[in-house]
Structure 1
Amino acid sequence: MKALHSLRTAARTIEARTPAGRDRPIDGLRALALLAVPTGHWLLGGFTLSPDGALHNASPLAAFGGLAPAGWVLQMLGVFFLVGGYASVLSFRRHQGPTADWLKGRLARLGRPVLGVTAVWAVLLPLLHHGLAVPADTLRTASTLVVQPLWFVGVYTVLTALTPSCVRAARRLGAYAAAPLLGAVAVVDFLRYGPYDDAVPSWLGVLNILPGWLFAYQLGVSWGEGRVTRRHGWGLLLGGAALFAALLAWFGYPASMVGVPGEARTNSHPPSLLVLALAAAQSGAAVLLRDRLGGWLRRPALWAPVVVVNLSAMTILCWHQTAMLAAAVPAAYTGPVAGLVGAPDSVGWILARLAWMPVFAVLLVLIGRYARGFESPWTRTGTIRRALAGVLAAGFAVFALGLA
């Protein structure tokens, strides 16, 4: 009862400190998209154990194709970029001063947590390998997982830099400013999957990275400029859903939104037209549900967790894989552990993984108590320490990307 009373008191305190003009639905959508990232990675990622005791990445999707619809729900990057565009245009509009100063501040908020997690892992790697005899292949696997969600930060950085151009496009074309981006991805997909795909270089898909992720961001900017209405929301929802169904039914797109080991095609890296169709449908739903979501979030008990998640956004993004590894790496010394270490190829594994997910969440909270400091301005960090962190982060990146 005492703990419940403390939670209620904290919720009321957060409610009292929330500015009257706070855009609660946007914060709620951001929190929902944020939590979908660790949920998806924890649910759809597993480990196999080699004879030498090393961990290797595996996915239950390879054995259970029926799990693909879970990825449709958990793949909420479209919502994340939509909300990012919306929030960026509001921040940009409020900024007084040169655009370069606004951009510098936004990018610093993204860069500090990334630098922090990669620098810490650069220190952990030799300690784990030489001090605790963790196999090198396990460390390779861990490094890959840590880097896996960080691609988002690089893409988001580029999109943030394009905000002024997106604002001009939104003011000129409104919601339709995103249409050319959808068309560009469709053209590239036709070339790489169409009748003449054998004559197309394999790197062509890279051209989808910028327009693919800019699509939802541009929609968000247009929304923030007041150029996306409920009519547009219905069009995005119904049109996106129809395109999504057509691509699956008649054009041979893989059902999984994430890469599946052994599959030749993937939807997300780089984004395919299926990803944009899902992003359009999700964006339309977000526009249509905004008012209702805002009403729900007037309740302190619902609003408080949204605030906490948003305040820890980059910590959740950067450290959730570390939380899973904190459970899996020690378990590797005991042999297969249901739902944690062992081939993810049975219903029992899925049920056991669901039971492990609260453990991962607790570990993330414990890690976040210390790691969240990387999100704050490094006012007490001298030039030498910042340079050292940069060198460590670069070294970890080289190792994680298999360059050394």
Structure 2
Amino acid sequence: MTSATMPGSAAALAAATPAGRDRYVDLLRVVSLGVVIAGHWLMAVPVRDAGGTTRVTNVLALVPVLQPMTWLLQVMPVFFLVGGFAHATALASITRRGGGYADFARSRTSRLLRPTAVFAGVWLVLALAAALAGQDHGLVRVALRTVVQPLWFLGVYLGLVALAPVMWRLHRRFGAGVPVALLASAIVVDVLRFHGHPQVAILNLLLVWGAVHQLGFLYADGTLQRGGHKLALLLTGAGLAAVVLLTTVGPYPVSMVGVPGEKVSNMSPPTVALAAHAVWLIGLVLLLRGPATRWLARARVWKAVVAANGLAMTAFLWHLSAAFVVLVAIGGLSLGEPGTAAWWATRPLWLGAAALVTALLVLVFRRFDAARPTVITSAASWPAAIGAALCTLGVLGVSAVGFGGLLDGRTALLLVVPVTAPVTIALVAAGAGMLRIGARKSR
């Protein structure tokens, strides 16, 4: 038996694909994570202050004219759409097999936590070593704080996993009314935010991303597809018009990602402008579904998508680590003044180097990102619910505080509570334990 035909290989998985599988969803997952990775690499710019200390800033802050590019590069809504679809299909499968909330929460959470725990563990060791050696400063400290920041999306995603069974029941009863209600609530939150109550903005983490996640349910049950090109064009046109209006007449910035120095971020926490961006982007996704599906019917194309899906999450976790390896290798140079012709000319070299180091890291760590079959245990729901909530808070906390200044007691706000890195790690560990305790009792 050759490696190409071994069970579990990309070729074997591609050959065993059920006829009814929506291959387009797999492509969307790969493309969305790939665009996010490339966007992070393009936006990262090292700069040196007067004292010679290197820090990393965002090219969008240095060259504001590039900010409209984020209307194409900000594709996280597509990932959350795919998440809604995946959770709908997983819930249906687990329910058919007699499973319940605990089985769903444990299987979906552990799928994300295994590779994330390895990633965080490696950087935690590096942070301790840097602190003990007195090297937790300069570019090292920037790396220790920055590499974990993309985990915010995993934290939000874990929160949606915890809520998915409840939201699925609401979907089955109210359908499209659920995302409409969530988006209407997000508008209310933004009105309050811009009228003297900025503390309520954090609610939009749930409302905006939850609405996009519910649209994934509408994709899973075929509602969006049944709307055809008419609905796709309506979503694209209305969403794009709303984005233009909100970012020109309204109080929202043009960039769909956070930009250093901006008073308002469309991303953290998400705004109605980002919700409108999600609507037009999902409309575009629906418009491209037909030709993309026909393209995916080709055996070589589908095999490549299957292979990429097996690597995508590992690549996402380690792509900023790879970028810092390259930065260290080139001595923290920016390779040209950002936005100039010389800078653009060096971008292929920068992207290629970051991709090469990421590929090497994927080879080392991909083994921790393997899907495992869901074991039905009929465990109690409440330990799993608590565990999922703790994991959500812990991962969000890690992304906020980072590992820089680990021994200095550095804190960051987790929602409204200051936390340290050890506290956030403890939350994740406690959550993982709660997710397993019910299963052990059931067995």
Please report the TM-score for the alignment, with normalisation by the length of structure 2.
Answer: 0.77
Counterparts of 1:223 and 1:174, CA distance in 2: 11
Q: Is the 8 A contact 2:183 2:275 kept in 1?
A: yes
In structure 2, stretches of 5+ residues that fail to align are 1-8, 374-390, 412-419, 421-443
1:148 is paired with a residue whose SS is: coil
1:324-363 to 2 correspondences below 5 Å: 324-332=323-331, 336-338=333-335, 344=338, 346-363=340-357
Q: Indicate the residue corresponding to 1:78 in structure 2.
A: 77
Q: Are 1:226 and 2:222 an aligned pair?
A: yes
CA offset at residue 126 of structure 1? 4.1
CA offset at residue 137 of structure 1? 2.8
Q: Is the 8 A contact 1:174 1:227 kept in 2?
A: no
Counterparts of 2:333 and 2:107, CA distance in 1: 46
CA offset at residue 268 of structure 1? 0.3
Counterparts of 1:114 and 1:226, CA distance in 2: 32
Moved more, 227-236 or 39-48: 227-236
Moved more, 299-308 or 277-286: 299-308
Counterparts of 1:395 and 1:259, CA distance in 2: 18
Cα 1:98–1:150, aligned 2, differ >3 Å: closer, same or farther? same
Q: Indicate the residue corresponding to 2:296 in structure 1.
A: 297
Counterparts of 2:291 and 2:169, CA distance in 1: 30
Cα 1:44–1:291, aligned 2, differ >3 Å: closer, same or farther? same
Counterparts of 1:366 and 1:128, CA distance in 2: 23
Q: Deviations over 1:249-303 (max 9, x none)?
A: 2113211111212111111000011110111111122223222211011123322
Q: Is the 8 A contact 1:25 1:291 kept in 2?
A: no
Q: Deviations over 1:220-270 (max 9, x none)?
A: 012212222324433322221121111122113211111212111111000
Q: Indicate the residue corresponding to 2:213 in structure 1.
A: 217
Equivalent residue in structure 1 for 2:359, among 361, 365, 390: 365
1:79-94 to 2 correspondences below 5 Å: 79-94=78-93
Moved more, 207-216 or 232-241: 232-241
1:190-205 to 2 correspondences below 5 Å: 190-193=191-194, 197=195, 200-205=196-201
| Counterpart residue identity of residue 197, structure 2 | P
| Counterpart residue identity of residue 304, structure 1 | K
Counterparts of 1:395 and 1:165, CA distance in 2: 27
| Counterpart residue identity of residue 293, structure 2 | G
Q: Indicate the residue corresponding to 2:166 in structure 1.
A: 165
2:47 is paired with a residue whose SS is: strand
Q: Is the 8 A contact 2:327 2:333 kept in 1?
A: no
Counterparts of 2:335 and 2:132, CA distance in 1: 28
1:124-203 to 2 correspondences below 5 Å: 124-128=126-130, 134=135, 136-193=137-194, 197=195, 200-203=196-199
1:376 is paired with a residue whose SS is: coil
Q: Is the 8 A contact 2:46 2:334 kept in 1?
A: no
Q: Percent identity between the aligned chains? A: 35
Moved more, 62-71 or 121-130: 121-130
Cα 1:155–1:395, aligned 2, differ >3 Å: closer, same or farther? closer
| Counterpart residue identity of residue 184, structure 1 | S
Counterparts of 1:13 and 1:157, CA distance in 2: 30
Q: Deviations over 1:108-146 (max 9, x none)?
A: 011111111111011123445666x75513222112221
Moved more, 24-33 or 63-72: 63-72
Counterparts of 2:359 and 2:316, CA distance in 1: 12
Counterparts of 1:72 and 1:337, CA distance in 2: 25
Count of matched residue positions in the alignment of Structure 1 and Structure 2: 373
Q: Indicate the residue corresponding to 1:399 in structure 2.
A: 403
| Counterpart residue identity of residue 362, structure 1 | L
Cα 1:128–1:302, aligned 2, differ >3 Å: closer, same or farther? farther
Cα 1:184–1:364, aligned 2, differ >3 Å: closer, same or farther? same
Counterparts of 2:83 and 2:193, CA distance in 1: 30
Counterparts of 1:377 and 1:285, CA distance in 2: 30
Q: Is the 8 A contact 1:11 1:303 kept in 2?
A: no
Please report the TM-score for the alignment, with normalisation by the length of structure 1.
Answer: 0.84
1:162 is paired with a residue whose SS is: helix
| Greater helix share, structure number | 1
Counterparts of 2:197 and 2:37, CA distance in 1: 34
Moved more, 239-248 or 136-145: 136-145
Q: Are 1:261 and 2:263 an aligned pair?
A: no
Counterparts of 1:138 and 1:289, CA distance in 2: 42
Cα 1:336–1:77, aligned 2, differ >3 Å: closer, same or farther? closer
CA offset at residue 99 of structure 1? 2.1
CA offset at residue 163 of structure 1? 1.4
Counterparts of 1:53 and 1:134, CA distance in 2: 16
2:201 is paired with a residue whose SS is: helix
1:282 is paired with a residue whose SS is: helix
Counterparts of 2:177 and 2:232, CA distance in 1: 12
Counterparts of 1:130 and 1:50, CA distance in 2: 26
Q: Is the 8 A contact 1:254 1:267 kept in 2?
A: yes
CA offset at residue 29 of structure 1? 1.0
